[in-house]
Amino acid sequence: MDPALLNRMNRSLRVEIIPLGRVDEVAGAVVAANIQEFLGFPTTLASPQPVPEEAHLPGRNQYDAGWILKQLRRGLDPRALRLGVTTRDLALPILTYVFGEALVGGRAAVVSVFRLGTEPGQPRKDLGRLYERLAKVALHETAHALGVPHCRRSGCLMRFSYGLDHLDTLEIAFCPACREEIARRTGALTGINYAGTPEPTDSNPSPVPGRQRPS
């Protein structure tokens, strides 16, 4: 693809990053910087919003990531993705916990730093490793929100992660096929195809949300 066209496509899509509750400012900055660096999308860091208490799962002291995603989609600009960042422990009713979750193609995602820090039994948090893991999860879920599915290629950031050990083995990089899919999905959402002409409009342009196993 023509680099100038790819840049124009990317600049036409914006990612809104919303801290949910009290979130370390550095965490938000790390997420924004990595999305701009590896996806090429402009980012805006919004003012913090409270974690919706309606998402609380009684008896588990966790928050329903799916419910939060529905809230994040409200009032979302057609050419924007929205990413929530929280310190709360996220889960789904059928899963014990998730590092992050996205509506695949639904333009909304949420990630949590709750389980990305030092493993049990280790004395101190390694903030460098925590932020690196957060960047990986945020990029992975943002690509899901754009519509990119999981990848089977070893090392690709879109590969399903079974835990922190596996997450740590992944590079902060997408394989060529996933990069191509990211470009294709970006073009479809921004109305710019590979030839640089407007995509045909649809009477219902919003993607149908899908459920993907979290990373």
Q: In CATH terms, is domain 3-190 a member of 3.40.50.720? A: no
CA angle 191, 192, 197 (to 5 degrees): 110
User: What are the pLDDT digits (tens) for 155-170?
Assistant: 899 999 888 999 999 9
User: What are the pLDDT digits (tens) for 58-71?
Assistant: 888 899 999 999 99
State how far the Cα of 18 lies from the Cα of 80, in Å rounded to an integer.
13
The residue annotated as part of the active site, out of 54, 141, 180, 199, is 141
Domain residue extents for the chain = 3-190
State how far the Cα of 131 lies from the Cα of 47, in Å rounded to an integer.
20
Please give the DSSP secondary-structure letter assigned to residue 162: -
Among the residue ranges 1-10, 14-23, 71-80, 169-178, the one predicted with the least confidence is 1-10
- Start-to-end Cα distance in the chain: 29
Stated pTM of the model: 0.85
- Is 53 annotated as catalytic? no
